[in-house]
Amino acid sequence: MTSADAPSPPPPAAHVTAGRPRFLWRPVGLALVLAIPPAISWLFDADPGITNVLIHVAISVTLLGAAVWTVRHSGLPRGLKWLVAATPCALLAAFYAQLLPIKTLNNGDGVIVGWVWRWEQPDSKLGVSVSAPQAPIRWIETAFDYPRFLGKRHWAEAPGVRLETDWRRHPPKLLWKQPIGAGWSSFAVVGGHAVTQEQRGDRELVACYEVRTGRCVWTHADEVRWDPSGRGALGEVGPRATPTVHQGKVFAYGATGILNCLEAATGKLLWSHRTLEENSAENATWGKSNSPLIVDDRVLVSVGGPGGRSLVAYDIDTGRKAWSAGQRRSSYASPVLAELGGVRQILCVNEDYLTAHDAAVGDVLWEHPWPGNSGSDASCSQPVPVGGDRVFLSKGYGVGAELVQVRRDSAGAFSTETLWKNSSVMRTKMANVVVHGEHVYGLNDGMLQCIDLQTGRSRWKKRRSPKFGHGQILLVDDILLALTELGELVLVAASPDKYQELAHLSALEGVTWNNPALAGSMLLIRNANEASCYELSLRQQPPLGGGG
């Protein structure tokens, strides 16, 4: 047989063997692309919010790459391959442009934790049924009141209360749980009554409830609805700040800058200001979140107006403006009263600066650089005076914590010095810290952490499951009471030695960013959907009238 007569060899199978790796590298490559953001987060201890953004970018790039491959190499009929390529990209674009009929529910890192139909507004179904009580109610002050944001001190604390930590033998008693209007406000509690702010349809409410029963006894309504999603921001609708109860009056600051002074006994409006319009101030991306501060006979709010209208003080009786000062745009933190260098001062975390005002006349005494933009790397955490003319600062977005020394020279001029700064601790994105002894406790990017106040070094950090997330914490004697981002109550020993969890209880459903309020044995908690009151067992019962 000659070579010419020999049968032709079969076609090479190269296209088969070559096709295997061609299709094999795609899922492997996809897995590697999607694994990059979590790997970055783990290796470099990155902000989980940034990691989530990178995941979205990775998914978008992967879908775009798949679309290009489909058009160029899939071998599908022309019309079909364009349909297959374009559909996922169009859906992704519609998702980011908020054109889909579903709306996602996100946690503090932007991670999707649920969804609702876009036209659904659960708060609109609640209605507003109460406007004024049949008879004035009595506000009886006690030593265990929790009358404003974070209680009575510079951090969330319930002094004089000692909790039973064995919740198996002494479980919290649920007194009531009920729907509530939307918003991220907390409760302010005096005696047997508590006030909060909430959104119900097109009305922003200040509402007063009986602590033991949950019965609403009066409401005040403003015809306004704040929805940051219309400006491309997350965060959902409703007010953010917590009311302040003081000497028979309730001071409430709404999400659009409406400051109301109400009669605590009836909810009657005594005076009101639209602070943003009156002071030529712009609203923050997620709405005004600054709770009112009482200093002597004035109520102070961080408005953020230009030209000497950043911090504004009003007479609590008449509502007349007493003074205004500063030029910084405000962040989401609330003003704090402190004494530094022998002078009473108001500390305000503003955009890019910590600003100190004279408490009597408002003059700016000093400023300290503290980066933060209200639309991107927002500053939410309070400045915390920690003694020795020092101020503790913390925030998320990779900034961490700093201890600032405030000094005053012989001429009375103030200056500041950084004692330490640590970007790996206390990245308190949406929460505040508490101080116990010489240690600071807080949520560092969703993990509970203890650090040494003097050095800024971490003592321990707990990555818990289920996560703490961007919840809130409250110091009760030597116990940390944490309310996690998904509504779980957790008791932890406030000890620098190690993390020791004592008890836990599922208390609320849904994303929970609101601070808890503890008055004696009464714990009031809420989120944007529901509120509840638990009676906690105490090691030592407070006197009668002490909130429990």
CA distance 311 to 334: 11
Find, among 371, 388, 527, 525, the residue nearest to 454 by Cα.
Answer: 388
Phi, psi of 166, rounded to the nearest 5 degrees: -90, 90
CA distance 526 to 239: 13
CA distance 523 to 375: 33
Q: What is the DSSP string of 133-198?
A: -SSPPP----TT-B-STTTTSSS-B-TT--B---TTTSPPEEEEEEE--B-----EEETTEEEEEE
34: which residues sit within 8 A by CB, 6+ positions away?
55, 58, 59, 62
Strand partners, 298: 295, 315
13: which residues sit within 8 A by CB, 6+ positions away?
none
Task: Write down the pLDDT at residue 51.
Answer: 73
Task: Write down the pLDDT at residue 307.
Answer: 94
Task: Write down the pLDDT at residue 153.
Answer: 86
Task: Write down the pLDDT at residue 464.
Answer: 93
CA distance 274 to 204: 14
Task: Write down the pLDDT at residue 528.
Answer: 95
Find, among 481, 488, 379, the residue nearest to 430 by Cα.
Answer: 379
| Residue-wise pLDDT tens digits, 409-425 | 999 999 999 999 999 99
Task: Write down the pLDDT at residue 513.
Answer: 96
**What percent of the chain is helix, strand and coil (3-state, nearest 5)?**
15, 35, 45
Task: Write down the pLDDT at residue 85.
Answer: 84
Task: Dig out the tokens for 185 from the structure.
Answer: 């406000």
3-state class (DSSP) for residue 380: coil
Domain ranges of the chain: 15-100, 122-535
Task: Write down the pLDDT at residue 16.
Answer: 43
DSSP code for 90: H
Span between the terminal Cα atoms of the chain, in Å: 108
Task: Write down the pLDDT at residue 529.
Answer: 95
- Cα separations (Å) of 449 from 39, 64, 126, 145, 425? 22, 40, 39, 28, 8
By the 10 Å C-beta count (0-12 exposed, 13-18 middle, 19+ buried), 51 is classed as buried
CA distance 99 to 92: 10
Task: Write down the pLDDT at residue 40.
Answer: 62
Query: Are the C-beta atoms of residues 285 and 237 closer than 8 Å to each other?
Result: no
Which residues of the chain fall below pLDDT 70? 1-46, 230-233, 540-548
Task: Dig out the tokens for 19 from the structure.
Answer: 């096709």
What 14-17 contacts at long range (C-beta under 8 Å, 24+ apart), as own/partner pairs, is none
Sign of CA dihedral 504, 505, 511, 512: negative
Preceding peptide of 306 cis, ω within 30°: no
In which residue are the tokens 């929460």 written? Answer: 431
Query: Are the C-beta atoms of residues 331 and 379 closer than 8 Å to each other?
Result: yes
Query: Are the C-beta atoms of residues 112 and 188 closer than 8 Å to each other?
Result: no
Report the half-sphere exposure of 501 (CA within 13 A, side-chain side): 16
Q: What is the DSSP string of 401-464?
A: EEEEEEEE-TTS-EEEEEEEEETTS---SS---EEETTEEEEEETTEEEEEETTT--EEEEE--
Right CATH for 122-535 from 2.130.10.10, 3.10.310.10, 1.10.357.10, 3.40.50.300: 2.130.10.10
CA distance 512 to 159: 24
CA distance 370 to 358: 19
Task: Write down the pLDDT at residue 436.
Answer: 97
- From the CB of residue 388, how many other CB atoms can be counted at a distance below 10 Å? 9
